[in-house]
Chains A and B, each alone.
Chain A
Amino acid sequence: MVFIMPLFINTRRVNRGWQFALTFLCWGISLSLYAQPEIHDVNIRLAGQTYILDAKINYELNPTLLEALHSGISLSFAVNFQISRERELLWDEAVSSFSRQYQLRYHALSRQYLLRYANTGLQNAFPSLSSALTAMGALNEIPLIKKVAIKANNMYRVKLQASLDIEALPAPLRTVAYLSSDWHYSSDWYTCPLSAQK
């Protein structure tokens, strides 16, 4: 499968331009042989005055990432959310976008996997990688958007994607990461419709 990094990698818009450029540099040579994150069981519902999302993401790290993790490299993951309004003739109007950041690292002394929620600063320790990945992949009650922002008679799309943030890697590794398909760890964009609920 030819791997093409999507335009929206994360919300740091400042970096988007050069990331785009670098992406194009390695476009075409990046062939991923390993599994990518998979998004499933996405459910959007109205809770009070807010639409919330539940979803699960299966993370399965390839040997390159595992080796890096066990070598003390901290891996950053981001789940990007985009909400857009459908329009008939024009392209979709971007309504909102945000991301959830996670940082996974291995603690050698305790042999624990530490998962840090970058948005809240909370950190949890897991005895196994699978438990840490499961915890990272469980998106529970993620507030998407206020109820008032979703207008009746309009159709909206909620798109989400999980990916490894190459820019958070140590500087020497980034060059390799951009050039190697093993480091392009990213799910496809998962799209689900959203309409006003009562």
Chain B
Amino acid sequence: MPTISPKVRKWLSVFSMLGLFGSLLLSLLLTSDALQNAARFEQLYSLLLAVNIIALITLFGLIALNLRRLWRQVRRGLAGARLMVRLVTLIVILAVVPVSVVYYFSLEFLHQRLGSWLDVNVDQALNNALELSRVAMDARMREALKNTESIAQELSNVDPVRYVSLLNEAHNRTNVEELTLLGQNGQILAFNGGDEMGGLLPSHPYESLLLQLKRTNTYVSVVPIKDGSLHIRVVLRFVHRNNNFLFLHALYPTPERVSNLAAEINSAYEIYKERFYLRESLKLSFTLLLSLILLLSIFSAVWAAFFVARRFVAPLSNLAEGTRAVASGNYDKQLPVSQLDELGFLVQSFNDMTRNIAQARDEAKHSQQFADRQRTYLEAVLSRLSSGVISLDHAQCLRTANPAASQILGLLLHESVGINLTQLQDEHAALQPLYLAIHNHWLTGSQDWRAEVVLFVAGGRKVLMCRGTQLTLDDDIESGQVIVFDDVTALIQAQRDAAWSEVARRLAHEIKNPLTPIQLSAERLRQKYLQKMPEKDAEILDRLTHTIIQQVDAMKEMLNAFSDYARTPQMRWQRIQLNDLIKEVLDLYLNEQAFITTKFDENLPPVEVDRGRLRQVLHNLVKNALEANPQDTSIAVTTRYLAESNFDCVELRMQDQGEGIPEHLLDQIFEPYVTTKTKGTGLGLAIVKKIVEEHGGMVWIENNPGACVVIRLPVAPQVAPHLLPSPATALTS
């Protein structure tokens, strides 16, 4: 079914209602016409009346529906409903009052004037005229009776066979139009009629008339013929000579002039009588008609009131609805502008306003989207930065942190946004150096600062290069600090390695190269002069050259060791169990006079290490431990798993029974060429430290009371190690 637009529906409704009103008006006009004896509509009078009443009832029903709808709207508090009630009431009152006044006076006029039209004098005059006509007819009736009696007299003395000829004679002799002779029982004995009566059939007096004549003998009357002319009928009862009763029926025409005048008087009289009789009915009918017209007018007014009010209120209702829509955030609401008046202007203004609001909203939305995009872009940039960036507000609470910061610090910093830095440091003790660096500069109020901070966090020991900048914005609350830090562990390592490599290269170049000629020269001195020299000198020479050669060897050995230390081989990462590697190394020392006790944590997680390098670490440590006290070579090796808040690690402790490290050397013991032993290169622990740091681990020595070397290595990550950036990979690449 095709949908009809509201506009079309509205006009359809208007036209149908106008059509209904028009039809009703026409119908009322026809009814009024019919009441006034208009022949063409008289037959339709009752139909028209019924149609009018039914149409009015329908109209009333429609109006009642409208009223019901309005009442519901008022009860529901719909916008404009009360205004519509007022408008409808006002228009109805304005329409009904004058119409009712007209109705009242029309009725008054009808009832008072209609009576006076039917004047008593006219009534009397018509009665007199009728009586005069009768008197005029009476003379002719007497003449007709006399004539008929003479014919009857003749008929009473003749034989029945002559009845017809006698009637013919009488007809020819007098002005009688029709003569009929009837027997005692009413049977026709003879008949003579003219064509004027319309045929050959005789007019038959009725039985009741014949019965009446049995008592009175004569009957004379004026009778109207169907064409409207008047005739005189005479019926006589007479006795025939053979003592039979006979009836003679005669019809006499009246002169045309007299007949017409009498007929007109009779017609006027009858019309007057009829009108007089109908006056009450006519009043009632006119009252009914007027009432119908009144109702039509009122109903039309009510309906028009509804229509006008609805049309008037519709923009206001729309405005109210539109305002509600705007209040609820729908700024795209546009109202239809159907009129070009002030209301239309108001609606247009509303539309402009909503359009502007919608435009402003769209712009704000675009700005927001732009800002969001910018923020996302900035976040993306920050997230791609290898440097960690965190910002703090004026109360030292964490505001933002990029993923690199979380990765470097081994924390999920975005979960800690809004937390004060002190609290963060309490929760994660490893962050203390960083906290102290920030806090100290905060207290001093320095605008820009730089600091190197060493943390031992997830991923192991990390050296961070921190740069802090004070943020000063208009709003104090918005101000704070931005700290950018880079993990320079690998860089420092690389720098140190490069430095040591350079030293080694220079040593090889500057020291190792002259050593071979020195050694060769010493050997050559020895070969050439040892045999020739006296024994005493030869002994001295032998001792001196031997010393030179030995020291040169020692020097070469030292240089090789140093070269080893400085060399940075390719790391081969493997996921291993530390316990297994320790057992493997310790097995090599079973033959020596070593007493090694182990205490392994069986739930040790795997570590990611270069197996060869770590083995070297263990060898160095075991050797040191064995050399610590030649009298007591017992060594205790323990491993355990340490799960701290931000750092999971595996700890290895190796306790010897020596004298421990002197306090003043504790800080330097891992530096190259720092040793407590008389022999050795002084590089053993330096290599240990280097390798451990290459693994992201930490190493230190505790006096307990013998020396206890503690190594902590980070637990292997869950994901493949090559996917994670590590200082070692960065270095090797």
Contact = CB atoms under 8 A, between A and B. Distances in A.
A115 to B, nearest CB: 10
Contacts of B43: 167
Interface string B268-283: 0111011011101110
A21 B133 CA distance: 46
Nearest to B51: A18
B222 interface: yes
Contact of B265 (A22, A73, A109): A109
A72 interface: yes
A126 B206 contact: yes
A114 B224 contact: yes
B614 to A, nearest CB: 115
Contact of B271 (A18, A72, A112): A72
B422 interface: no
Interface string A104-124: 000111111010100001111
B522 interface: no
Interface stretch (B34-42, B462-470, B566-574): B34-42
Contact of A171 (B45, B206, B208, B277): B45
Interface string B27-52: 00000001101000011011101110
B421 interface: no
B221 A110 contact: yes
A13 B206 CA distance: 36
Contacts of B380: none
A145 interface: no
Interface stretch (A41-49, A55-63, A129-137, A154-162): A129-137
B257 interface: no
Contact of B269 (A108, A173, A174, A175): A108
| Main SS at interface, chain B | helix
Interface string A162-195: 0000010011111110100000000000000000
Contacts of A109: 130, 133-134, 137, 222, 224, 230, 262-263, 265-266, 269
A35 interface: no
The 6 A-B pairs with the shortest beta carbon distances in the complex, nearest first, are A71-B277, A72-B274, A72-B270, A109-B266, A131-B208, A171-B45
Given A109-B134, A170-B37, A127 B209 contact: yes
Contacts of A22: 46, 49-50
A92 interface: no
Given A109-B134, A110-B224, A172-B285, A134 B47 contact: no
Contacts of B34: 171
B224 A112 contact: yes
Contact of A107 (B50, B224, B277, B284): B224
Given A18-B51, A109-B130, 7 more contacts: A68-B277, A108-B266, A112-B221, A131-B209, A170-B37, A171-B35, A172-B278
A71 B274 contact: yes
B288 interface: yes
A170 B208 contact: no
Contacts of A176: 280-281, 284
B94 interface: no
A107 B266 CA distance: 8
15 contacts: A73-B278, A107-B224, A108-B269, A108-B273, A109-B137, A109-B224, A110-B230, A130-B208, A167-B46, A170-B274, A171-B45, A173-B278, A174-B45, A175-B49, A176-B280
A56 to B, nearest CB: 14
Nearest to B227: A123
Given A21-B54, A171-B34, A125 B277 contact: no
A73 B277 CA distance: 9
A127 B265 contact: no
Given A21-B54, A109-B266, A110-B224, A174 B273 contact: no
A112 B35 CA distance: 29
A125 B203 CA distance: 11
A140 interface: no
Contacts of B266: 107-109
A15 interface: yes
Contacts, number: 112
Nearest to B286: A172
B532 interface: no
A121 B227 CA distance: 11
A171 B130 contact: no
B728 to A, nearest CB: 110
Contacts of A19: 46
A125 B205 CA distance: 9
Kindly name the residue among A110, A126, A173, A176 whose own CB sees the greatest number of chain B CB atoms within 10 A: A110
A96 interface: no
Interface of B: 34-35, 37, 42-43, 45-47, 49-51, 54, 130, 133-134, 137, 206, 208-209, 212, 219, 221-226, 230, 233, 262-263, 265-266, 269-271, 273-274, 276-278, 280-282, 284-285, 288
Contacts of B219: 127
A195 to B, nearest CB: 34
B366 to A, nearest CB: 71
Q: Which of A68, A108, A174 has its CB near the most chain B CB atoms (within 10 A)?
A: A108
Nearest to A111: B221
A9 to B, nearest CB: 12
B281 A175 contact: yes
Contacts of A67: 277
A125 B235 CA distance: 14
A174 B34 CA distance: 12
Contacts of B47: 15, 18
Contacts of B221: 110-112, 127
A19 B219 CA distance: 45
A116 to B, nearest CB: 8
Contacts of B284: 172, 175-176
B584 to A, nearest CB: 116
B125 to A, nearest CB: 14
A29 to B, nearest CB: 15
B42 A171 contact: yes
Contacts of A126: 206, 208
Contacts of B277: 67-68, 71-73
Nearest to A21: B50
A135 B276 contact: no
Contacts of B226: 116, 121-123
A21 to B, nearest CB: 5
A128 interface: yes
B215 to A, nearest CB: 13
Contacts of B35: 171-172
Interface in A1-53: 15, 18-19, 21-22
A146 to B, nearest CB: 27
Nearest to A173: B281
Interface string A61-92: 00000011001110000000000000000000
Contacts of B282: 172
A39 to B, nearest CB: 21
Contacts of A107: 224, 266
Interface centre among B42, B133, B223, B276 (most CB of A within 10 A): B223
Max chain A CB contacts within 10 Å: which of B35, B46, B226?
A: B46
Contacts of B133: 109
B206 A135 contact: yes
Contacts of B224: 107, 109-110, 112, 114, 125
B130 A108 contact: yes
Contact of B274 (A18, A73, A123, A130): A73
A184 to B, nearest CB: 14
A175 B208 contact: no
B451 to A, nearest CB: 108
